[in-house]
């Protein structure tokens, strides 16, 4: 009885709501990109579409297998009159009924963009507290990767990722955020995202293994947010991590993060003194744009010394 009640409280899968399958509940909070059922159905529908394009209408009618008659849930909804096509956000229970005027091409939908801006980005929780590591800001409760990227746990295998204050102060204000593809698989320790400052580019390594489920739309429009608020509004992307517990073992947390950042600050201080032939002031904080304030230092040299680029 308890199991039945639990299943009854779950929302209906999008494939069921579209009428492609008769009964299927959603156990993934509509994070379809991480759902094995969605991947399996997509494979079947893709094969069916290819087969139907190569088969005459007379032969298609003779097909008896239900599996071979499956079509994409979006294609099934497109067969409905416009007034009856529900917006995806209504199907997920986020809003009251609203029709879809874009034929389920969400990337071109202004409402979809508005929804994510208003309801997703603003749900980012501010860090409880920050530690000051000789002028570098480090939030408590975040996991840190040696490549100066961080993650914040969001629950159910989801993490939010970005770059740290050290990298922002070192390289200065970014003006370009290279497009990231939804569904792209990232590998821990390998390049994940490319940021640019004019003609200068830098790759940042993925802190964990996972699949991109969301990209910060605000940062795409205004990359300067990364420098203004690297740990909050300037986050870069969300990932679903299938083996997060294992990945976390390769990251630094709390005291180990503080120790690592302290060593990085010492290395940077020594580097500045070596380049400028002047002793750095004790107890001071680094400016927000070291690259812009050290004209004799090359971008490539800073990356080589402080921001690993992977292979």
Report the pLDDT value the prediction gives residue 127, as an integer from 0 to 100: 67
Count each helix (H run) and each strand (E run) in the chain, helices first.
14, 12
pLDDT category at 6 given cuts 50, 70, 90 is: very low
pLDDT category at 72 given cuts 50, 70, 90 is: very high
CA-nearest of 137, 128, 123 to 230 is: 137
Taking only the tens place, the pLDDT of each residue in 16-40 is 999 999 999 998 878 787 788 998 9
Report the pLDDT value the prediction gives residue 113, as an integer from 0 to 100: 74
Report the pLDDT value the prediction gives residue 65, as an integer from 0 to 100: 63
Taking only the tens place, the pLDDT of each residue in 49-63 is 888 777 655 554 544
Query: Average pLDDT of 70-76?
Result: 93
Residue 211 clears pLDDT 80, i.e. is over it: yes
Residue 7 clears pLDDT 50, i.e. is over it: no
Report the pLDDT value the prediction gives residue 120, as an integer from 0 to 100: 55
- 261 by DSSP, 3-state: which? helix
Report the pLDDT value the prediction gives residue 34, as an integer from 0 to 100: 76
- Say which residue the tokens 């529900």 belong to: 86
Torsion of CA 222, 224, 230, 235, to 10 degrees: 20
Taking only the tens place, the pLDDT of each residue in 109-124 is 888 777 766 655 445 5
Higher pLDDT, 67 or 277: 67
pLDDT category at 12 given cuts 50, 70, 90 is: very high
Report the pLDDT value the prediction gives residue 294, as an integer from 0 to 100: 86
Report the pLDDT value the prediction gives residue 95, as an integer from 0 to 100: 83
Which range has the worst mean pLDDT, 107-111, 196-200, 284-288, 291-295?
A: 284-288
CA atoms within 13 A on the CB side of 188: 20
- 266 by DSSP, 3-state: which? helix
Residue 131 clears pLDDT 80, i.e. is over it: yes
All domains of the chain in start order, with CATH: 1-79 (no CATH), 84-123 (no CATH), 129-311 (2.40.50.100)
Report the pLDDT value the prediction gives residue 182, as an integer from 0 to 100: 81
Report the pLDDT value the prediction gives residue 166, as an integer from 0 to 100: 96
CA distance 6 to 307: 47
């Amino acid at each position: 009885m308890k199991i039945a009640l639990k299943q009854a409280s779950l929302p209906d899968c999008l494939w069921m709501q579209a009428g492609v399958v008769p009964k299927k509940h959603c156990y993934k909070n509509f994070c379809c990109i991480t759902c094995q059922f969605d991947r399996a159905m997509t494979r079947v529908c893709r094969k069916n579409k290819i087969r139907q394009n190569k088969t005459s209408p007379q032969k298609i009618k003779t097909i008896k297998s239900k599996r071979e008659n499956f079509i994409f849930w979006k294609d099934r909804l497109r067969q409905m009159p416009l007034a009856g096509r529900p917006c995806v956000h209504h199907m997920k229970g986020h809003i009251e009924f609203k029709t879809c005027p874009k034929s389920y091409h969400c990337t071109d939908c202004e409402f979809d963009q508005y929804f994510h801006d208003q309801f997703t980005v603003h749900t980012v929780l501010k860090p409880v507290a920050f530690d000051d590591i000789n002028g570098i800001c480090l939030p408590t409760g975040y996991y840190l990767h040696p490549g100066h990227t961080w993650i914040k746990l969001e629950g159910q295998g989801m993490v939010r990722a970005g770059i740290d204050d050290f990298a922002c102060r070192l390289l200065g204000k970014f003006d370009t955020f290279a497009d990231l593809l939804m569904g792209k698989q990232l590998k821990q320790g390998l390049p994940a995202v490319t940021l640019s400052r004019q003609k200068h580019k830098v790759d940042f390594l993925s802190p964990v293994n996972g699949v991109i489920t969301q990209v910060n739309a605000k940062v795409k429009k205004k990359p300067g947010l990364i420098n203004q608020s690297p740990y909050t509004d300037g986050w870069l992307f969300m990932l679903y991590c299938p083996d997060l517990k294992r990945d976390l073992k390769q990251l630094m947390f709390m005291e180990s993060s503080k120790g690592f950042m302290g060593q990085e600050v010492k290395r940077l201080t020594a580097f500045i003194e070596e380049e400028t032939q002047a002793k750095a002031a004790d107890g001071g904080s680094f400016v927000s744009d070291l690259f812009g304030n050290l004209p004799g230092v090359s971008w490539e040299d800073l990356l080589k010394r402080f921001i690993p680029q992977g292979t």
